[in-house]
Amino acid sequence: MADKKPDKNSENEKNFKLTEYFHNLLKRRINFRLTKKEMCDIICSVDFVVETLVATISSKVGWLQFSRVVRVGSMAEETSVGHPNEFDYLAILKIEANGVQVERACEKNRGYAHVKIIDPGLKTIWAKWMDGEYLKSNFTRGHSDWLSGYFDTLGNAFREEVCNFMQNDKLACKTDIGEIETDSFFNFHVKKHGPAFTPKFRWKSNRSGEIITIGVDITPAIEVELTPDIISEKDTYDPLFFRKVKENGKVMLISCREKASCDAKQCMCLVFTETEVELVRSMGQHHKDCYKLLKYIFNGGNGFTFLPSYALKTLVLKHSCHCEEEENLAVCFKTLVASCLHYLFNRKAEEEKIEPSRLARVFMPGDRFSLNIPSIFFGKHNILRGKIYKFPCEQFLQEIEMMLESIDNISCRETAEVDDKSLRIVNSRSTGAEAFVSTLPKLLPFVRKSTELTKCVECHRNYFNVKIL
């Protein structure tokens, strides 16, 4: 017997209620609740202290010269969630036009390249961070606070210079609106975060006295001219993306993890960060709101971030290319959840390794696994390459099942108001492995009965009428 299709009018009504709820959620919990003047003050103040920091390092350290600082990420894209407490910057190294040569080295691993140092002066001052004629990329060694004195990359050396400066000098900026200063407690060791490092600042409002601790990711980058052998239109997901790349005319190179490249010492990531900012900013507010909802609902808790915000951004950008919807948040949100489930159910299992800290996995179903989400710029490049999830996939599928059930309940309510009870779709459970272990006794019978969470699949089918297994 064929599955009974949901009544169209009923679905429309449910989507209308859910969209209204999402708008209330954005207004009351997700969008910033600061005044426009305070927002401008925070942005300008953070820009000022970061530019001052980078300029000071350049003036004191002869081998670290920067040409400019670029604000990127969610604050530049206008898609931050909750509080303006996370900023991202690229510190662009000052290099003459013919100082370096970018060599395409990974035909199979599109999205990576080697940087050959041509300028004799750079060869001299960067000698300790080079492997032969090429700049070292890999940062797996030297990223630990316990090994902060060991610098195997130029980026790690930059981070140490920043750490030393912030322990001895104080950065501050005061205005009529508020004031920002170095958070000395957090900056005893500036934390590494992938290729970036994250000093902390504190901003205080003169109006309300509210204090916001702000983490600033700073990533050193090399900027080079775009050439045809770096990227072509056939590489990109949509011609729009390639046009934007060509208009920008630049490409950035940053360090990458050891397992994400063909050569752990030399292979650097090609990134089009400024182009991404333009693409996200050019999206309509409707799809920006979809992106913010995904970030808030999937990654709002204190547990393990299952899908990085960059992965969610990639899905939204792809979706927006072919979507003309401008009002119904529920429809687009459900489609994007379907995309997440598609990648989860087409995951690749990885060989398990015995880890003493993960002995509890003996009692858990499922394998370690990886996901493959193609880049919008390089269709053959997996943006999650090298990221192995060390806890069962069923755990996150259970979170999605609970979220879908909660959304269904919200759709059937008489009111679309936001309250703590309805907010079980967010922050209801941690997606961290420790939380899963702590709830294992009561979950184990359920998981053993359905290791692939057929209930989650059934929820998915009810919402999207799509077969995913």
Rounded Cα distance between 48 and 95, Å, is 23
pTM of the model: 0.85
Q: How much is the pLDDT for 143?
A: 41
- The span from the CA of 245 to the CA of 67, in Å, is 21
Confidence (pLDDT) at 260: 58
> Which residues, at least 6 apart from 306, have a Cβ–Cβ distance to it below 8 Å?
298, 299, 389, 396, 399, 431
Taking all residues of the chain, what is their mean pLDDT, rounded to a whole number? 79
Distances (CA, A) of 77 to 70, 355, 376: 12, 39, 17
Q: ∠ CA 47-100-158 to the nearest 5 degrees?
A: 40
Burial class (CB in 10 A: 0-12, 13-18, 19+), 268: buried
Residue-wise pLDDT tens digits, 20-62 = 999 999 998 899 988 999 999 999 999 999 999 999 999 999 8
pLDDT for 190: 79
Q: What angle do helix axes 239-248 and 273-282 make, rounded to 10 degrees?
A: 120
Confidence (pLDDT) at 432: 38
Per the model's pLDDT, the better-predicted residue between 74 and 263 turns out to be: 74
Residue 361 has pLDDT above 50, yes or no: no
* 89 phi/psi in degrees, rounded to 5: -135, 145
pLDDT tens profile 238-262? 999 999 999 999 999 998 866 655 6
Amino acid of residue 127: A
pLDDT of residue 2: 47
Q: Which pLDDT does position 351 carry in this prediction?
A: 65
Q: What is the mean pLDDT of residues 401-408?
A: 77
pLDDT number for residue 417: 79
Both tokens of 45, joined, read 């103040």
At 191 the pLDDT is 78
Classify 215 as helix, strand or coil.
Answer: strand
Q: Residue 252 belongs to what H/E stretch?
A: strand 250-254
Least confident residue range of 5-19, 257-271, 277-291, 345-359: 345-359
